[in-house]
Amino acid sequence: MDDCLHLKITRRRLLIASAVSASAAALPSLSGAASRDAPQTAAAPVQQRVRLRINGEVHSLELDTRTTLLDALREHLQLTGTKKGCDHGQCGACTVLLDGRRINACLTLAVMHEGAELTTIEGLGTPGRLHPMQAAFVKHDAFQCGYCTPGQICSALGMLDELRAGQPSHVSADLEAAPTLSADEIRERMSGNLCRCGAYSNLVEAITEAAGSRA
Amino acid sequence: MKFDTPSAENPTDRLRVVGQPVDRIDGPLKTTGRAPYAYEHHDGFTGGFADGLARPAYGHVLGAGIARGRIRSFDAEAARRAPGVLAVISADNAGPLGQGPRNTAKLLGGPRIEHYHQAIALVVAESFEQARAAARLIRVEYAREAGEFDLAKVRDSGRAPQDEPDRRLGDFAAAFAASAVRIDAVYRTPDQSHAMMEPHASMAAWDGDRLTLWTSNQMIAWGRADLAKTLGIRPEQIRLLSPYIGGGFGGKLFVRADAVLAALGARAIGRPVKVMLARPLVFNNTTHRPATIQRIRIGATADGHIHAIAHESWCGNLPGGSAETATQQTQLLYAGAHRLSALRLATLDLPEGNAMRAPGEAPGLMALEIAIDELAEKLGLDPVELRIRNDTPVDPHDPQRRFSQRQLVECLRTGAARFGWAQRNPVPGRTRAGRWLLGHGVAAAFRNNLVMKSGARVRLGRDARVTVETDMTDIGTGSYTVIAQTAAEMLGVPLAQVDVRLGDSDFPVSAGSGGQWGGNCSTAGVYAACMRLREQIAQRLGFRDAAAVRFADGEVQAGGRVAPLADAVRDSELLAEDSIEFAGLDRKYQQSTFGAHFVEVGVDAATGETRVRRMLAVCAAGRILNPKTARSQVIGAMTMGVGAALSEALHVDPRLGCFVNHDLAGYEVPVHADIPHQEVIFLDGADPVSSPMKAKGVGELGLCGVAAAIANAVYNATGVRVRDYPLTLDKLLGQMPAPG
């Protein structure tokens, strides 16, 4: 339970906050004139240097401060295994592990993470040498189009660490007891990662098997 | 290869590789993030990006802020002066554009605006952040015009579509009036969005007057033709590549704004440009499944034989758009001597309606299969038994025309036994588990099997590796894998010895991914090419009678002689190309796929919240080429059906004429916590009438009927009959039994 107290903000809370702000921003204006209130000039972008340790390798990047962690990975480092599904925290396709915790890479700016340690899907395994979680996904056909898959895999690994650390979820019967690795716990904790192909039933089986092999 | 007689025994019948539940061959690439999608072709990663091309610039699309009217003024000066901006493309400077026949509205609007979020500009800049920021500086003044956005309001102005005339048999009105038991009800299905995980994305690069476009598209040849027409160039000038597609569900059947604008942007700046539609733009800018209002009347004898059946459906679309064909399955699913089906299409100024997974059948069965449940209750008959009683071995409109296979009854019986249907309490609202009211529902699944010409090229390299090339796409359906299985079976080599290359307009034209025809037709095309290659191999190795030759275990055998396959390519490789062309059997026989869905739900007695607890699908779809990937198609469709039943609806803002919940927080697709363990049973049954592969489609069948099974289960749980999807709790509360 100790780890839980150190959490600054939960993933669920982050998702809720982002959904509200995104919906508000997306509402059209009734006047029929777009961007009436937009600034009329644009200043030159502010650049800032940031060092990130990604999959064990240190990268030093000079970035537009508006660059999300997701676009830093995809567009500046060509680490396109991390996917852009919504770019505002609603789908989970961009989930990576930041200092061991799962995070939506689209919801944070790269320059906020000086010195951070990141694990992306590319750091877990290769096609010839799959990580046990990746192998379980292939075996159980826990994906179809493959676009949410890297995010599901990173999220599953982060989720299992949260579970092992004793963090309760909405479906945990007892907030004091150690949560169990049940299908319901997996479903609840993975619900920030959408899969429109609908591989959920297989995803639970893959994650359960991979969790068992690591235990 | 012409396919005009039912397939006799052929090499795929061995089922050594075909029909086996092998893992997806693209799995290792997808699970490690190495499969390159449209926006991800760049240097040094997969080698996907062409040599010598400059780093791509970024395009950001601006969508129209009105649903209907004109752009009065368009001021992009500030955007053009913004840092990093390379070009602003709009109707003012894009030059004349054509329109592909498969698009209803223009992909670059202006000055005329046809729907909300129709693309009106592309800002191209050195970085994504710069393009997005500059797009906000564009000032647009509109002259808004009134439009029609409410289907209920315009339905009576609807007309019968030219290609979907009313169908009548016997005298429905008289027969219905004379029926002992009648139901007459109106059902509503909402606008729905594909909401695939990868937004529409394209990257364009010009070399002189030749365009290379990496995109995310289900139908390569359609896309190439329509893009050429739009840009005013010849199809041969375009190479379209779509090797990996992050979901489609019909939303990527057609070229969309990302493709056209990336091409225009790249042409304007003389450098590659990539464009991904921002998620909040996808819902109104692209296509959706149109809403329907459906009236169903069924008259039956007291012992449950349908005597008269009528299905009418109203929908709307932009002028020139097509109708949602929600009445089609009713023409074929149940018996009945007196029949009427009619579609009415009205004009709406909402975004373009078009195909989404199981177009027609999905919303049609959402209504019909509730109606059947209502009829069963009125008759006091079990709903499984009512469906069995009204099975028909022939097309009711043309009794000479038999179904090539029809296993609806077997699907229902198998499912009922497996699910424990006999234990269901037919009286609604009587089964309780703690706070949950439990209910059980059933629905039939039905979807026609369509066939489309499909080509492929197969190479046997000097290293004896087999390479298959076809412009077929894999949108998560498993095309890579079932095509590899087909080639491995036909040529007698291990699966690992086959390479499959897809989604490239340089390859032979395939059936593409749509209408659940892709799996059967594309593998049949590969079968045809492999038959050609077998002849060449036999000839090289000196076998006289190619038809008598067996290919197995890397060897070629006939008449007691055995030769290693590799001997045929010792000196040079062999290459064969062919296509499967379907001629007549689809008219002679009605080819359809069948299924039955069984669902258990719990409805919270106090809050009306519905949770799906158990799901079972039984499917009959010819030979199942790969039970593992086919099962995934079905569970995925069942999941989409849960969304359709309980949460998915695009909500129309009638003032603005747009779908107001245009992102993934507002448009609620099912999440992990919404989906229980799902069970799928495939009935055996190769169908020699469908193709040499004897397979049929399954990806859309899996969706058909799911939502109605859930709605029927909710009724069984609560006694509240909801005929207006989705079944949100507000429609249950107030009519539910008092919580006790």
Model pLDDT, residue B312: 98
Is the pLDDT reported for residue A34 higher than 50? no
CATH topology of domain A48-123: Ubiquitin-like (UB roll) (3.10.20)
Cα–Cα dist A142/A151, whole Å: 12
User: Nearest 5°: phi and psi at B384?
Assistant: -70, -45
Model pLDDT, residue B202: 98
Taken as a whole, chain A contains a residue count of 215
Q: Does A46 touch chain B (CB under 8 A)?
A: no
CA distances from A181 to A36, A150, A169, A172 (A): 52, 21, 11, 10
Tokens of A120: 């992306």
Average pLDDT over residues A183-198: 98
In chain B, which residues have their Cβ closer than 8 Å to the Cβ of A85? 197-199, 246, 279, 664
| 8 Å CB contact of A204 and B278 | no
Is the pLDDT reported for residue A5 higher than 50? no
Tokens of B510: 């395939």
**CA-CA-CA-CA torsion sign (B129, B134, B135, B136):** positive
Three-state SS letters, B144-156: ECCCCCCHHHHHH
Nearest to B231 by CA among B214, B203, B255, B200: B255
Alpha-carbon dihedral B382, B385, B390, B392, rounded to 10 degrees? 150
Is the pLDDT reported for residue A213 higher than 70? no
Closest-CA residue of A relative to B639 is A198
- Stretches where chain B sits below pLDDT 70 are 43-53, 740
Tokens of B661: 């919940």
Q: Does B223 touch chain A (CB under 8 A)?
A: no
Model pLDDT, residue A45: 87
Closest-CA residue of B relative to A33 is B141
| 8 Å CB contact of B246 and A147 | yes
Nearest to B482 by CA among B530, B532, B517, B520: B520
Contact B278, B136 (CB under 8 A): no
Using the structure block, give the residue that is written with the tokens 């050594």: B16
In chain B, which residues have their Cβ closer than 8 Å to the Cβ of A55? none
- The order of strands in the sheet holding B436-448 is B432-433, B436-448, B592-604, B610-620, B678-682
**DSSP E strand boundaries for chain A:** 47-54, 57-64, 95-98, 101-104, 117-119
CA distances from A55 to A121, A122, B29, B86, B371 (A): 9, 7, 18, 34, 56
User: Nearest 5°: phi and psi at B328?
Assistant: -60, -45
Nearest to B525 by CA among B571, B479, B594: B479
Q: Which of residues 539-558 of B touch A (CB under 8 A)?
A: none
Is the pLDDT reported for residue A33 higher than 80? no
Task: Tell me the domains of chain B and their CATH numbers.
Answer: 2-35+451-585 (3.30.365.10), 402-449+591-731 (3.30.365.10)
Nearest Cα of chain B lies from the Cα of A25 at a distance, in angstroms, of 10
Nearest to B162 by CA among B44, B376, B37, B325: B325
Is the pLDDT reported for residue A13 higher than 80? no
Q: Does A12 touch chain B (CB under 8 A)?
A: no
Tokens of B453: 């010409």
Cα–Cα dist B675/B678, whole Å: 8
Q: Per-residue confidence at A20, pLDDT binned at 50, 70, 90?
A: very low
Closest-CA residue of B relative to A120 is B33
SS3 B438: strand
Q: Which of residues 400-419 of B touch A (CB under 8 A)?
A: none
Cα–Cα dist B584/A78, whole Å: 50
Model pLDDT, residue A40: 52
Nearest Cα of chain B lies from the Cα of A203 at a distance, in angstroms, of 9
ipTM greater than cut 0.85: yes
Mean pLDDT of chain B: 96
The C-alpha angle with vertex B616 and arms to B615 and B619, in degrees rounded to 5, equals 140
Cα–Cα dist A194/A93, whole Å: 7
Nearest Cα of chain A lies from the Cα of B130 at a distance, in angstroms, of 8
Among A76, A144, A148, A189, the residue to mutate for chain B (most B Cβ within 10 A): A144
Q: What is the pLDDT of residues A92-141, one digit of tens each?
A: 999 999 999 999 999 999 999 999 999 999 999 999 999 999 999 999 99
Q: Who contacts B130 (Cβ-Cβ below 8 Å, separation ≥6)?
A: A45, A64, B58, B82, B83, B84, B85
A55 Rama class: left (phi>0) / alpha (psi -120 to 50) / beta:
left
Tokens of B236: 């041969």
Q: Who contacts A16 (Cβ-Cβ below 8 Å, separation ≥6)?
A: none
Contact B451, B517 (CB under 8 A): yes
Model pLDDT, residue A44: 82
- Which residues pair with residue B87 across a beta bridge? B124
One fold for both A48-123 and A125-214? no
Closest-CA residue of B relative to A15 is B665
- Which residues pair with residue B142 across a beta bridge? B71
| 8 Å CB contact of B632 and A199 | yes
Q: Does B77 touch chain A (CB under 8 A)?
A: no
The C-alpha angle with vertex B181 and arms to B178 and B183, in degrees rounded to 5, equals 105
Number of alpha carbons in the 13 Å side-chain half-sphere of residue B213: 39
All structural domains of chain A with their residue ranges: 48-123, 125-214
Number of alpha carbons in the 13 Å side-chain half-sphere of residue A113: 27
Cα–Cα dist A120/A98, whole Å: 9
Three-state SS letters, B652-720: EECCCCEECCCCCCCCCCCCHHHCCCEEEEECCCCCCCCCCCCECCCCCHHHCCHHHHHHHHHHHHHCC
- Relative orientation angle of helices A132-139 and A200-214, to the nearest 10 degrees: 140
Nearest to B443 by CA among B143, B65, B91, B711: B711
- The order of strands in the sheet holding B210-215 is B85-90, B119-125, B57-63, B273-276, B201-207, B210-215, B238-241
B506 Rama class: left (phi>0) / alpha (psi -120 to 50) / beta:
alpha
- Which residues pair with residue B551 across a beta bridge? B556
Residue B351 DSSP code = S
Q: Does B499 touch chain A (CB under 8 A)?
A: no
Q: Look up the CATH architecture of domain A125-214.
A: Orthogonal Bundle (1.10)
Tokens of A212: 């068992």
Cα–Cα dist B194/B284, whole Å: 12
| 8 Å CB contact of B665 and A19 | yes
User: Alpha helix locations (H) across A34-182?
Assistant: 69-71, 132-139, 149-164
Closest-CA residue of B relative to A153 is B31
SS3 A57: strand
Contact B476, A197 (CB under 8 A): yes
The C-alpha angle with vertex A29 and arms to A25 and A31, in degrees rounded to 5, equals 165
Model pLDDT, residue B512: 97
- Which residues pair with residue B74 across a beta bridge? B140
Cα–Cα dist B68/B113, whole Å: 5
Q: Does B24 touch chain A (CB under 8 A)?
A: yes
Number of Cβ within a 10 Å radius of residue A177:
11
Number of Cβ within a 10 Å radius of residue B174:
12
CA distances from B319 to A148, B66, B288, B349 (A): 36, 17, 15, 8
Could you give the residue numbers annotated as active site of B? 700
Q: Per-residue confidence at A41, pLDDT binned at 50, 70, 90?
A: low
Tokens of B473: 């796409």
Share of chain A above pLDDT 70, in %: 79
- Relative orientation angle of helices B518-540 and B479-491, to the nearest 10 degrees: 30
SS3 B97: coil
**CA-CA-CA-CA torsion sign (B155, B159, B163, B165):** positive
